[in-house]
């Protein structure tokens, strides 16, 4: 019967960047794991953020029994405010993750209506027909979990974002015992993080970064400034600890960093150093060799603390010769040029700069191939579904699973919205639900279509040109105009001559065509595009406005 079928549906998460969501569905019960967002790609012009298409969940909102969030990164939590508008369900998260979600929901004025529950690693709980067993995994943020999910069809294991760091900053290693125990229960399917499926060996421990921080804090003659993501609580902790060992006091710079540090201190995930954090005033007046700063800006974001410190946007803080700056984050694809530029500008300001191309000032939060293999060997599932990562990562991870002994017909590369059905008869892809990108631009959710993006692209290349005329509605005679204006097309110095000549051509052409006012827009478009291209080899968007009197 159809109801004994388990359905696994990745939304956004499989094959596309960082908008991770996985649905586990049995009969009329749906469990949602994670609800991420992505930041727009270079060709998504003017778009603020991108979320998965939740239409399937919205249609079946009466069936959503719960939303479990594995950890507090944006690509796992950022879609929540949008999902919750349409599909209310209890949310389950560990303490730090819940803290980060609360900050986010408060911003969206959704905190009061949200049903938030704290889950605790190793403490099972029930969501509809699903028995959940969260287990601790290491990642680049504390308090991450993977999930054992007992369903009527069998045991599903979801890895979360994980690595097997043997020396994590908070000392809490991945729960190997639980993984082995789950593996002993003959799991039906493993869903496992594929982000680093290209990387051989194992991801280095966070310990290596801590050692480097110790060395730099101990030897730098001036201030040490570490830029990282505001959510990277572990990295922030490493700076605080290294600074403490070397007699430096710590300042936190950047609003989002300050909010997160405050929240993490309140929840006990960071201990404020013995001396309190430095205020901006204190930073200015401390001897440079006694100061360590943590700030945002690792991606070269224009509004970030680091970029403002370089460009003089902070009145009191600015980069000085003798500063040592560590950019402790990997580049998100698309940000490379902005990061290169900030590194160059830091060198221009006389700072010493440590960055990824130069030495290992950052380690990934995701396990490499040997770790992915170990996860497979521990869980030994019947079926395997690679999740989290781009398409190539999924393919490489599926091949690794095959090398690990899972038959090819039992490994499934499932793309966003594809439905994987698992039952006694085996596994199969069974159609696709609503999927793809939903653009959020200003107040609009999902109302930015391909036509709009194409227009924005054309405007970005050669700008636009408008020509306004007033014609007699009966005989098409030109009464006023043409009035021409442009933006983004040519510099003002050239515009006057082009405009004068274009006006003459338009007056001539409209005189020839005067029998029909209806034909005027096409005439204007034709005359202007031909003339402007011949003069400039540019193709501005042309908008004729024909008013009739």
Q: Least distance from C-beta 34 to a copy of itself, angstroms?
A: 21
From the list 336, 337, 264, the residue with the least C-alpha distance to 294 is: 264
Q: Does 462 bind a copy of itself (CB under 8 A)?
A: yes
Residue 134 · residue 119 · CB < 8 Å: yes
Q: Where are the alpha helices (DSSP H) in 176-232?
A: 176-183, 206-219
CA distance 96 to 144: 9
Q: Least distance from C-beta 45 to a copy of itself, angstroms?
A: 5
Task: Return the number of the residue (239 or 353) whose C-beta is nearest a copy of itself.
Answer: 353
From the list 164, 80, 148, the residue with the least C-alpha distance to 114 is: 80
Q: Does 307 bind a copy of itself (CB under 8 A)?
A: no
The residue annotated as part of the active site, out of 73, 158, 366, 435, is 366
In which order are the strands placed within the sheet that holds 6-10? 116-118, 91-93, 64-68, 29-33, 22-26, 6-10, 418-423, 426-432
Q: Does 390 bind a copy of itself (CB under 8 A)?
A: yes
Binding mask 328-347 for a copy of itself (x = CB under 8 A): -----xx-xx--x--xx--x
Task: Return the number of the residue (15 or 154) whose C-beta is nearest a copy of itself.
Answer: 15
Cα end-to-end span (Å), the chain: 71
Question: How long is the chain?
Answer: 549
Which residue in 4, 113, 120, 447 binds a copy of itself (CB under 8 A)?
447
The CA-atom distances, in angstroms, between 29 and each of 6, 14, 22 are 10, 22, 14
Residue 167 per-residue DSSP state:
S
Q: Least distance from C-beta 62 to a copy of itself, angstroms?
A: 28
Binding span for a copy of itself by CB under 8 A among 72-80, 94-102, 278-286, 455-463: 455-463
Task: Return the number of the residue (296 or 331) whose C-beta is nearest a copy of itself.
Answer: 331
Which residue in 61, 104, 380, 456 binds a copy of itself (CB under 8 A)?
456
Residue 542 · residue 465 · CB < 8 Å: yes
Q: Least distance from C-beta 52 to a copy of itself, angstroms?
A: 17
Which residue in 95, 170, 198, 477 binds a copy of itself (CB under 8 A)?
198
CB under 8 Å to 139, separation ≥6 — which residues? 71, 160, 161, 162, 163, 365, 366
Which residue in 426, 442, 504, 511 binds a copy of itself (CB under 8 A)?
442
CB under 8 Å to 376, separation ≥6 — which residues? 190, 192, 384, 400, 401, 404, 406
Q: Does 436 bind a copy of itself (CB under 8 A)?
A: no
Task: Return the number of the residue (479 or 522) whose C-beta is nearest a copy of itself.
Answer: 479
Q: Does 491 bind a copy of itself (CB under 8 A)?
A: yes
Number of residues this chain uses to bind a copy of itself (CB under 8 A): 66
Our CA dihedral for 467, 470, 473, 474, rounded to 10 degrees, sits at -110
3-state secondary structure (DSSP) of residue 127: strand
CA distance 342 to 307: 7
Binding span for a copy of itself by CB under 8 A among 70-78, 110-118, 141-149, 446-454: 446-454
Task: Return the number of the residue (66 or 482) whose C-beta is nearest a copy of itself.
Answer: 482
Q: Least distance from C-beta 199 to a copy of itself, angstroms?
A: 8
Q: Does 507 bind a copy of itself (CB under 8 A)?
A: no
Which residue in 459, 505, 525, 531 binds a copy of itself (CB under 8 A)?
459
Q: Does 348 bind a copy of itself (CB under 8 A)?
A: yes
Please report the DSSP string for 320-377 in residue order: -TT-EEEE-SPPPTT-HHHHHHHHHHHHHTT-EEE-TTTS-----SS--HHHHHHHHH
Residue 401 tokens read as 């699973």
Q: Least distance from C-beta 455 to a copy of itself, angstroms?
A: 4
CA distance 412 to 427: 8
Residue 314 per-residue DSSP state:
S
Binding mask 516-545 for a copy of itself (x = CB under 8 A): -------------------xxxx--x-x-x
Q: Least distance from C-beta 436 to a copy of itself, angstroms?
A: 15
Residue 347 tokens read as 């060198």
Q: Least distance from C-beta 17 to a copy of itself, angstroms?
A: 9
**Cα-flanking dihedrals φ and ψ of residue 269, to 5°?**
-85, -15
Which residue in 221, 358, 430, 518 binds a copy of itself (CB under 8 A)?
358
Q: Least distance from C-beta 299 to a copy of itself, angstroms?
A: 13
The residue annotated as part of the active site, out of 193, 323, 441, 462, is 193
- To the query of whether residue 193 is one of the catalytic residues in this protein, the response is yes
Q: Does 483 bind a copy of itself (CB under 8 A)?
A: yes
Q: Does 134 bind a copy of itself (CB under 8 A)?
A: no
CA distance 53 to 11: 7
Task: Return the number of the residue (529 or 536) whose C-beta is nearest a copy of itself.
Answer: 536
Please report the DSSP string for 478-539 in residue order: EEEEEEEEEESSS-HHHHHHHHHHHHHHHHHHHHHTTT-GGGHHHHHHHHHHHHHHHHHS--
Residue 260 per-residue DSSP state:
H
Task: Return the number of the residue (334 or 426) whose C-beta is nearest a copy of itself.
Answer: 334
- Which residues 108-127 are close enough to bind a copy of itself by CB under 8 A? none
Q: Does 285 bind a copy of itself (CB under 8 A)?
A: no
Using CB under 8 A as the criterion, which residues of the chain lie in contact with a copy of itself when the complex forms? Answer: 15, 41-42, 45-46, 198, 333-334, 336-337, 340, 343-344, 347-348, 353, 357-358, 390-392, 395-396, 441-444, 447-449, 451-452, 455-457, 459-464, 466, 468, 470, 479-481, 483, 485, 487-494, 535-538, 541, 543, 545, 547, 549
Q: Which residues are catalytic?
A: 193, 366
């Amino acid at each position: 019967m159809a109801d004994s079928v388990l359905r696994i549906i990745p939304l956004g998460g499989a094959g596309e960047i960082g908008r991770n969501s996985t649905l586990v569905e049995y009969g009329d019960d749906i469990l949602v794991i994670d609800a991420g967002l992505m930041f727009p790609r270079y060709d998504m012009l003017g778009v603020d953020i991108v979320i998965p298409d939740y239409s399937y969940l919205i249609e079946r909102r009466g069936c959503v029994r719960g939303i479990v969030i594995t950890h507090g990164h944006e690509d796992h939590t950022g879609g929540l405010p949008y999902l919750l508008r349409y599909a209310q369900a209890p949310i389950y998260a560990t303490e730090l993750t819940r803290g980060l979600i609360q900050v986010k929901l408060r911003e969206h004025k959704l905190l009061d209506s949200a049903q938030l529950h704290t889950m605790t690693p190793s403490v099972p709980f029930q969501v509809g027909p699903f028995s959940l067993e969260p287990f601790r995994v290491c990642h680049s943020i504390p308090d991450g979990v993977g999930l054992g999910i007992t369903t009527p069809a069998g045991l599903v294991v979801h890895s979360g974002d994980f690595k097997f760091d043997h020396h994590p900053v908070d000392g809490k290693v991945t729960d190997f015992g639980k993984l082995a125990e789950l593996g002993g229960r003959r799991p039906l399917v493993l869903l496992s993080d594929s982000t680093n499926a290209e990387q051989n060996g194992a991801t280095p421990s966070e310990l290596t970064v801590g050692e480097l921080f110790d060395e730099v804090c101990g030897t730098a003659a001036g201030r040490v400034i570490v830029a990282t993501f505001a959510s990277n609580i572990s990295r922030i902790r490493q700076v605080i600890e290294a600074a403490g060992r070397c007699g430096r006091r710590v300042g936190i710079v950047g609003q989002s960093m300050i909010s997160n540090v405050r929240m993490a201190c309140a929840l006990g995930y960071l201990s404020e150093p013995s001396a309190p954090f430095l205020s901006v005033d204190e930073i200015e007046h401390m001897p440079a060799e006694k100061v360590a700063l943590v700030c945002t800006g690792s991606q070269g974001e224009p509004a970030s603390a680091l970029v403002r410190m370089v460009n003089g946007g902070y009145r009191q803080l600015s980069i000085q010769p003798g500063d040592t700056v560590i950019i402790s984050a990997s580049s998100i694809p698309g940000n490379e040029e902005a990061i290169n530029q900030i590194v160059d500008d830091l060198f221009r300001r006389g700072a010493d700069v440590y960055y990824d191309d130069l030495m290992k000032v950052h380690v990934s939060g995701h396990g490499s191939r040997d770790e992915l293999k170990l996860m497979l060997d521990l869980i030994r599932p019947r079926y395997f579904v690679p999740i989290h990562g781009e398409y190539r990562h999924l393919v490489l991870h599926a091949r690794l699973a095959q090398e690990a002994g899972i038959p090819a017909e039992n490994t499934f590369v499932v793309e966003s919205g594809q439905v994987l059905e698992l039952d006694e008869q085996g596994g199969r892809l069974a159609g696709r639900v609503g999927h793809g990108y939903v653009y959020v631009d200003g107040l609009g959710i999902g109302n930015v279509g391909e036509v709009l993006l194409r227009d924005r692209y054309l405007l970005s290349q050669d700008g636009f040109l408008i020509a306004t005329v007033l014609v007699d509605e009966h005989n098409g005679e030109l009464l006023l105009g043409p009035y021409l204006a442009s933006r983004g097309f040519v510099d003002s110095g050239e515009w006057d001559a082009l405009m004068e000549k274009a006006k003459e051509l338009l007056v001539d052409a409209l005189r020839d065509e005067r029998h029909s006012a209806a034909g005027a827009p096409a005439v204007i478009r034709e005359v202007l595009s031909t003339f402007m291209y011949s003069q400039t080899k540019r193709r501005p968007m042309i908008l004729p406005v024909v008013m009739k009197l």
